Structure 1
Amino acid sequence: MDSEQGYKTWLCLICGYIYDEELGAPEEGIVPGTRWADVPMNWVCPECGARKEDFELIEI
């Protein structure tokens, strides 16, 4: 795992769900520490069903 680069946070533009790489989405089968690039392409937002293309990187 590439821990030198900080974890990033992604926002669903449809419903506002936040995907945090550090936390992952264990209830969706995405283990903590999973980078956005490693989230499967067929994964959808657990809140609204939006696709990965509907998420935007949040700069904190």
Structure 2
Amino acid sequence: MSEPLAQVQDAQWMCLPCGHVYDPAHGAPEQGIPPGTRFEALGPDYACPVCGVGTDEFEAI
């Protein structure tokens, strides 16, 4: 059973290869992404700041 959409949108997202966690509440200021930016809004150019993989390698946690 999948999680309700609202819970997934507000979830933290973990990079599967390296374990880095993107938290929408904090954003990624070092990459110019302000706090409150949902994972879905990061766009196709977002890359993990640790290992460089794209959003397709992240999973909601």
What is the TM-score with the length of structure 2 in the denominator?
Answer: 0.82
Of 52, 56, 59, the match for 2:59: 56
Which structure 1 residue ranges, 4+ long, deviate > 6 Å from structure 2? none
CA RMSD of aligned residues (A): 1.2
Unaligned runs of 5+ in 2: 1-5
Percent sequence identity over aligned pairs: 44
Unaligned runs of 5+ in 1: none
Higher strand share: 1
Number of aligned residue pairs: 54
Higher helix share: 2
